[in-house]
A and B are shown apart, each in its own frame.
With several copies, the nearest count.
Chain A
Amino acid sequence: MNSFRFDPVELPDSALSFRHAARSFLADELAHERFTPHRNSWGTYDADFSRRCGQHGFIGMHWPQRYGGHEASALDRFVVIEEMLAAGAPMGAHWVADRQSGNNILANGSEAAREKILPQIAAGECFFAIGMSEPNSGSDLASVGMRATRADGGWVLNGTKIWTSNAHQAHYLIALARSEPLGEDRHAGLTQFIVNLRESDGITTRPIYNLYNSHDFNEVFFDDVFVADDMLIGDEGRGWQMVTGELAFERSGPDRILSTYQLLRQLVDAVAKKAEGRDLIAVGRLISHLVTLRRMSLSVAGMLERGESPELEAAAVKDVGTAFEQEIPEIARLLVDVAPSLDNGNPYAEALAKGMLSAPCFSIRGGTREILRGIIAKGLGLR
């Protein structure tokens, strides 16, 4: 049987310096009341905040300097990200670009794309959306229907993408499209394209409001959208391998653990006031999960830093981590009897409402629980 490996990781000194820098930056932001921690999640869009992050060197941290990066390690980035999440910072604008799109371009993009886009991302002035899901292709990603056809000097895209967070505000979207007819191997013939959302013709964006009436998702229609050759990512037809490689980055980070951390923070203060036996026990249990998950997530970051491919471990972090995130509002409501409210000014009530209403999507976005467990089962050698 294949075992998971979660080797312990020690943070380098550089990471501790970055932690210090991130804390100073965040303290200053809070001192100027530039954001309200308990109302945010990592999806909260704030372009100004992103620009300030860029100015402070907190985006594209591990990229080469010539592309605007700071040549830091994956562990350095991990520390900065967890500081941001723990502080409730609104990272939504640059989130996708920093977590995955930029890395993808750096690893597989053309030199022109790198030179043009990466410095803008790192400056906190260029935001990305993910163009993987389609109306008839959610968990079954390989069944994408978007078609890419050859055109003079590039490609033309036709089709529809859905659940694209921030497509209405981002600069670019990376679209996964079928560039060859469907053959025996469903995973062959897919290619990733960088689409300029603001300057391309033929793009229509329809907002999709979520259940608490917030506009995050979109449906994006592509009608003969031209993409130049140098905006392909990697070799034509090899998109599937890159997409799955990207997922280890997408699934194992502290964002799969800390989505409801602001509520936990409120909960600790509320429980501390009464300090009753079983309430302390319930909080202690949550903390035991959090500390363990952080170790697991850090361990995957260490593997990514070493160039390994911890797909299974990443799936396990997301499966266990999102279950933990989902549990927090369910437990909080049993411990402290405060009615949830999205906007009545009570930080506990607001963090609870936000946590409760957003929790269902934790085990859906970035791969459903069922898909992740299927990946893990295969990795365990169930055949």
Chain B
Amino acid sequence: MNDIRDMILDSAGRLFSDRVNRELWQASEDGGFSDDAWHAVAEMGLTRMLLEEDEGGAGLDVADGLSLAELAGYHALPLPLAETFVGMRLVADRIKVSGEEIIVLAGEHNIIDARLEPAGEGWTLIGELQRIAWGRHAHYVLLDLPARDGDMRRVVVKADRLQWRPDVSLAGEARDSASLDSLALTANAVTATNKTGPSITEWGALLRSLQMAGAMRRALELAVEHANERKQFGRPIAKFQAIQQQLAAMAGQVAAAGAAAAAAARATEGEEPGFMIAVAKARVGEAAGMAAAVAHQVHAAMGFTREHTLHYYTRRLWSWRDEFGTEPYWQDRIGQRICATGGDGMWPFLSDL
């Protein structure tokens, strides 16, 4: 299994190295999108990566497949690949996909005053969507909502039926809002959720954690390269302890982020995937701020320019850490869970994770 994973990641890495460059990043600034790059990604089968083999997928373990999100983050891939390849898996039972479709996620922070009302054979969806990543470019939006019976439903909305109001993230990527406007849905668009699996909010948080872990890994590499090349006072700044100590501290944060995200990726099929995802989003998000700060400090003025590539990673870190729940949101969930367990019960719970 790891052979297949490594092969796919290897090919994907080469594709990203080829395609992700200043032009592609610029194409996604101000809310733009590169159809051409998306086609290349879909053609390689990356969007279908988590489908079963008989559905045209690679049949990878979820945890193995999710490494692709980390790799996409490492390359600051300006495409909605992560949400799409998870989305494809989640809708596989009801929508026939070609692999070119763009599927995006609306977590609970993206949904305002929404509700789901039965209407004849189907449903009516009421409410607002806000700051949906890649919204205006999407074919489908996935979201979870409770129906009147209190049980959660997973809803697939065709994105071209929405009027998107454009906005962008700090990285310039599309983050668009739309009114649901009593949207009529067929029965097929609304199904029960898998009660033990991650919610859409949790999937989103997990993907952003992995993407951040990757982007931080790359930011550290860039900072180390810069420190070895940039000379001041007659020698590379890498020689100065003031630089070394900061980069070592950053490396610790990057390592923690990688470990937390990887652990959460392995937990999606476990008993309480939400807890490990909460840990990951909280821990990685916290590390991201510190890592971005050190990377910029080491790069000094050069890293503060548009010309340098560092900001394509750090602006994504700053925007991703806010999406699908900020650190306090997830820390609160962890705190609630642990305080309900109590001091004595905490260890049996934690050691079982």
- Asked if A and B form a direct contact in the complex, defined as CB atoms under 8 angstroms apart, the reply is yes
Interface residues of A (CB under 8 A from B): 1, 3-4, 6, 8, 19, 79, 82-83, 86-87, 133, 136-140, 143, 162-163, 208-211, 213, 217, 264-269, 271-272, 275, 277-285, 287-296, 299, 313, 316, 319-320, 326, 330, 333-334, 337, 339-342, 344, 353, 356-357, 359-361, 363-365, 368-370, 372-377, 380-383
The reply to whether A382 and B351 contact each other, CB–CB distance below 8 Å, is no
Residues of A within 8 A of B259 (CB): 6, 292, 295-296, 299
Minimum CB distance partner of B305 in chain A: A208
User: Quick check: A369 and B131 within 8 Å, CB to CB?
Assistant: no
Question: Quick check: is B154 within 8 A (CB to CB) of the other chain?
Answer: no
Complex A-B: 20 CB contacts under 8 Å: A1-B221, A136-B231, A210-B306, A213-B306, A280-B331, A284-B336, A285-B282, A288-B286, A296-B256, A313-B255, A316-B252, A319-B248, A319-B252, A320-B253, A341-B168, A353-B170, A360-B293, A374-B242, A381-B228, A382-B239
Interface: B260 (CB within 8 A): yes
- Cβ–Cβ < 8 Å partners of A213 in chain B: 306
| Bound-state Cα–Cα, A285 to B170, Å | 25
**A291 with B279: CB separation less than 8 A:** yes
By a CB distance below 8 angstroms, the chain A residues around B343 are 264-269, 272
Determine the chain B residues whose CB is within 8 A of the CB of A342 once the complex forms. Answer: 170
- Against A, the Cβ 8 Å flags (1 = close, 0 = not) of B235-259 are 0101111111101110111111011
On whether the beta carbons of A283 and B258 are closer than 8 Å, the reply is no
Residues of A within 8 Å of B339, CB to CB, are: 268, 271-272, 275, 280, 283
Point out residues on B near A: beta carbons under 8 Å.
109, 131, 167-170, 175, 217, 220-221, 224-225, 227-228, 231-234, 236, 238-245, 247-249, 251-256, 258-260, 262-263, 266, 276, 278-279, 282-283, 286, 289, 292-293, 296-297, 300-301, 303-308, 310-311, 314-315, 318-319, 322, 326-336, 338-344, 346-347, 350-351, 353
Least CB distance from B280 to A in Å reads: 8
A140 CB → nearest B CB, Å = 4
Knowing A284-B334, A383-B228, say if A291 contacts B245 (CB, 8 Å). Answer: no
A29 CA / B249 CA spacing, docked (Å): 40
Residues of B within 8 Å of A269, CB to CB, are 342-343
Are B283 and A357 in contact (CB-based, < 8 A)? no
The answer to whether B167 touches A265 (Cβ under 8 A) is no
Q: How far is the CA of A194 from the CA of B339 in the complex (A)?
A: 48
Contact B346 A265 (CB under 8 A): yes
| Contact residues of A: prevailing secondary structure | helix
Cβ distance B9 to chain A, nearest Cβ, rounded Å: 14
Among the listed A3, A271, A294, which residue makes an inter-chain contact with B335, where contact means beta carbons less than 8 Å apart?
A: A271
Of A133, A278, A340, which contacts B322 at CB under 8 A? Answer: A340
Contacts of B239 in A (CB 8 A): 382-383
Q: A8-B262, A377-B248 are in contact. Are A139 and B278 (CB under 8 A)?
A: no
Q: Given A291-B353, A370-B245, 12 more contacts at CB 8 Å?
A: A4-B251, A208-B305, A265-B343, A265-B347, A280-B336, A284-B278, A288-B283, A291-B276, A291-B350, A357-B315, A373-B244, A380-B247
Interchain CB contact under 8 A, A360 and B335 = no
Question: A358 to chain B: closest CB distance in Å?
Answer: 9
Bound Cα distance A1, B346 (Å): 38
* Option from B169, B247, B296, B344 in Cβ contact (under 8 Å) with A382: B247
Q: Which residues of B contact A282 (CB under 8 A)?
A: 331, 335
Q: Say whether A382 contacts B328, CB under 8 Å.
A: no
Measured CA separation A88–B308 after assembly (Å):
29
CB <8 Å contact, A285 and B286: yes
Chain A residues in 8 Å Cβ range of B327: 285, 334
Partner of A337, one of B236, B329, B334: B329
- B-side contacts of A139, CB under 8 Å: 232-233, 300
A284 in contact with B247 (CB, 8 Å): no
CB <8 Å contact, A287 and B335: yes
Nearest residue (CB) in B for A357 is B170
Q: Which 5 A-B pairs have the closest CB atoms?
A: A280-B335, A284-B335, A284-B331, A284-B334, A373-B248
Q: Measured between alpha carbons, how far is A294 from B231 in the docked complex, in Å?
A: 36
Complex Cα distance, B242 from A319, in Å, reads 15
Expressed in whole angstroms, the Cα–Cα distance for A383 and B301 within the complex equals 22
Residues of B within 8 Å of A292, CB to CB, are 256, 259-260, 263, 279, 283
Given A209-B307, A291-B353, A341-B168, do A281 and B332 touch, yes or no (CB 8 Å)? yes
- Expressed in whole angstroms, the minimum distance between the Cβ of A68 and any Cβ of chain B is 27
Q: Is the CB of B131 within 8 A of A339?
A: yes
Whole-angstrom distance between the alpha carbons of A213 and B340 in the complex?
A: 38
CA–CA, A377 and B228, complex, Å: 12
Task: Indicate if the CB atoms of B241 and A374 lie closer than 8 Å.
Answer: yes
